[in-house]
């Protein structure tokens, strides 16, 4: 009897013979067996609910999951075939433009995440700069982009992929964001844009966007250089409007020309959906928009991907309708309060100091050990993982703050108050274990994952 005739076998062949790995499989297997095989493989991943490293949504309501499931077979790019989905994209862009205080009608795009949105937003800045330089009969050879060392790696990627010189303000051991005085010396006539981050990956703080805007307004008047700001609001774009509504960082500031935000972070949708929003239509150069007609109708496209899933965008629209401004406010406030609760527990243990908690910050706790203890933050991360299974990232800050090591715990929807209480206790207990044994075993230490977990 072949394996196909024994689809209900309790012990499937892969259990003793191993799984397809290196060669394209000669024969298939019954669906239940294939399911068990794959399920057993990915079941060995870390548990997303214990993943304190990720900014990405790990819980959604059943109705959202139902919509996701019902739309898994639609392709986002088929606007001609799915015109209502195309309208959903436009609605979401308009809603975000409203949330970010755009002065009038604008445009934007649904993207795979903030990374794609950043590539497209920065390309638009490069195109606008080049057009202006060509018009003035000036060289377009050496574009540069100015930002702090607190940016996400995607900004370095953009510079390398699209041939732009990165001009980076280094961080300092006592300062993990950047402001106008740091950035101004790096600007010149070849600067395509300045990047300001709202909610950095490293500490959850914001660059001084108001000061950067004021500086650029003054540079425009003093030096006749009109340099735009792109705000990387990957995480902060769904946090600041709800818990810091009076802080100006968005289109209320005149040099802010484009903003990206990740729907799959504090937009509360599963990955991958992100958004790019322009200040107004003129900010998107026409020659970055391609017209194609092979899907049945002439359709403008402004994307790096072509075919991709539709369901996360639909889930985003669900979330906007489901929560509204009040609901997002309630959700983000609750996360922030739980972050403050957890931070308070850690600080009160006398073992840690908090970073960024005295100012505006994402719902997270960024912290480091105080005093000499015979072990470091990597040891704490390893001990917490081995005792309680929490994936708590420890990492060094970017240059020139590389001697500072921190731990960071994201607080998302599934870290309720009692889980936050448990986590705080688990971290303190792990330190007590380390106190007794004076650090982590070197073998275990090697295994501790580093990185910021984005």
Ligand X SMILES: Cc1ncc(COP(=O)(O)O)c(C=O)c1O
**Given the rule CB under 6 A, which residues bind ligand X?**
55, 113-115, 152, 154, 197, 200-201, 232, 234-235, 262, 274, 454
8: phi > 0 → left, psi -120 to 50 → alpha, else beta; which? alpha
CB 155 → ligand X: shortest distance, Å? 8
- Residue 152 or 279: the one with the smaller Cβ distance to ligand X is 152
- Residue 386 or 396: the one with the smaller Cβ distance to ligand X is 396
CB 145 → ligand X: shortest distance, Å? 14
- Residue 201 or 405: the one with the smaller Cβ distance to ligand X is 201
- Residue 33 or 452: the one with the smaller Cβ distance to ligand X is 452
Tokens of 298: 């002439």
Q: Fill in the DSSP letter of residue 275.
A: E
- Residue 200 or 405: the one with the smaller Cβ distance to ligand X is 200
DSSP 11-74: S-HHHHH----SS--SS---HHHHHHHHHHHHTTSPPGGGB-S--S-----HHHHHHHHHTTT-
User: How far apart are alpha carbons 443 and 120 in whole angstroms?
Assistant: 43
CB 292 → ligand X: shortest distance, Å? 25
- Residue 191 or 200: the one with the smaller Cβ distance to ligand X is 200
Q: CA end-to-end span of the chain, whole Å?
A: 48
Residue that the structure tokens 């009109």 belong to? 226
- Residue 234 or 409: the one with the smaller Cβ distance to ligand X is 234
Closest CA to 188 of 133, 234, 244, 231: 133
- Residue 233 or 430: the one with the smaller Cβ distance to ligand X is 233
**Pair type for strands 352-354 and 364-369:** antiparallel
User: How far apart are alpha carbons 270 and 57 in whole angstroms?
Assistant: 5
Closest CA to 260 of 153, 112, 451: 112
- Residue 201 or 383: the one with the smaller Cβ distance to ligand X is 201
Tokens of 54: 């990720």
CB 56 → ligand X: shortest distance, Å? 7
CB 148 → ligand X: shortest distance, Å? 11
CB 253 → ligand X: shortest distance, Å? 18
Tokens of 164: 């732009």
Percent helix / strand / coil, the chain, rounded to 5: 40, 15, 45
Close Cβ partners of 56 (under 8 Å, ≥ 6 residues apart): 262, 264, 265, 270, 271
- What residues are paired with 229 via a beta bridge? 194, 256
- Residue 235 or 303: the one with the smaller Cβ distance to ligand X is 235
User: How far apart are alpha carbons 302 and 89 in whole angstroms?
Assistant: 13
Sign of CA dihedral 161, 148, 52, 233: negative
CB 215 → ligand X: shortest distance, Å? 21
CB 130 → ligand X: shortest distance, Å? 24
CB 449 → ligand X: shortest distance, Å? 16
- Residue 51 or 262: the one with the smaller Cβ distance to ligand X is 262
Tokens of 251: 């289109």
Q: How far is CA 23 from CA 204, 250, 312, in A?
A: 44, 51, 33
CB 185 → ligand X: shortest distance, Å? 24
According to DSSP H, which parts of 277-415 are helical?
A: 311-348, 377-388
CB 395 → ligand X: shortest distance, Å? 13
* Cis upstream peptide for 400 (omega within 30°): yes
């Amino acid at each position: 009897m072949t394996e196909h005739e024994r689809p209900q076998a309790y012990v499937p062949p892969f259990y003793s013979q191993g799984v397809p790995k290196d060669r394209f499989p000669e024969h298939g297997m019954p669906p239940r067996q294939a399911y068990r095989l794959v399920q057993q493989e990915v079941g060995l991943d870390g548990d997303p609910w214990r993943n304190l490293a990720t900014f990405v949504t790990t819980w959604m309501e059943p109705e959202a999951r139902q919509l996701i499931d019902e739309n898994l077979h639609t392709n986002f790019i088929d606007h001609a075939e799915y015109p209502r989905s195309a309208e959903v994209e436009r609605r979401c862009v308009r809603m975000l433009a409203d949330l970010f205080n755009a002065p009038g009608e604008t445009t934007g795009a649904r993207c795979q995440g903030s990374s794609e949105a950043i590539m497209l937003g920065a390309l638009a800045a490069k195109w606008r700069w080049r057009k202006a330089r060509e018009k003035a009969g000036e060289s377009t050879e050496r574009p540069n982009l100015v930002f702090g060392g607190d940016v996400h790696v995607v900004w370095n990627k953009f510079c390398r992929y699209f041939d732009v010189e990165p001009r980076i303000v280094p961080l300092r051991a006592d300062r993990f964001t950047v402001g106008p005085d740091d950035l101004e010396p790096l600007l010149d006539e070849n600067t395509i844009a300045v990047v300001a981050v709202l909610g950095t990956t490293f500490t959850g703080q914001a660059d001084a966007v108001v000061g950067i805007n004021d500086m650029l307004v003054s540079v425009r008047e003093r030096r006749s250089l009109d340099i735009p700001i792109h705000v990387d609001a990957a995480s902060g774009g769904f946090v600041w409007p709800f818990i810091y509504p009076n802080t100006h960082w968005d289109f209320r500031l005149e040099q802010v020309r484009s903003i990206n935000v990740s729907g799959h972070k504090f937009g509360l949708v599963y990955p991958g959906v992100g958004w790019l929003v322009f200040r107004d239509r003129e900010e998107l150069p026409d020659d970055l928009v391609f017209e194609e007609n092979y899907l049945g109708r002439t359709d403008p496209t402004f994307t790096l991907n072509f075919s991709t899933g539709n369901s996360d965008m639909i889930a985003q629209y669900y979330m906007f309708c489901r929560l509204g401004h009040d609901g997002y406010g309630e959700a983000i406030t609750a996360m922030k309060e739980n972050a403050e609760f957890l931070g308070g527990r850690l600080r009160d243990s006398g073992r840690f100091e908090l970073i960024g908690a005295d100012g505006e910050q994402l719902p997270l706790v960024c912290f480091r050990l105080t005093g000499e203890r015979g072990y470091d933050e990597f040891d704490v991360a390893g001990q917490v993982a081995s005792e309680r299974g929490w994936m708590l990232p420890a990492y060094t800050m970017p240059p020139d703050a590389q001697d500072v090591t921190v731990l960071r715990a994201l607080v998302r929807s599934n870290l309720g108050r009692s889980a936050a209480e448990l986590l705080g206790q688990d971290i303190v207990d792990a330190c007590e274990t380390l106190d007794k044994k004076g650090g982590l075993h070197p073998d275990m230490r090697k295994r501790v994952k580093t990185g910021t977990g984005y």
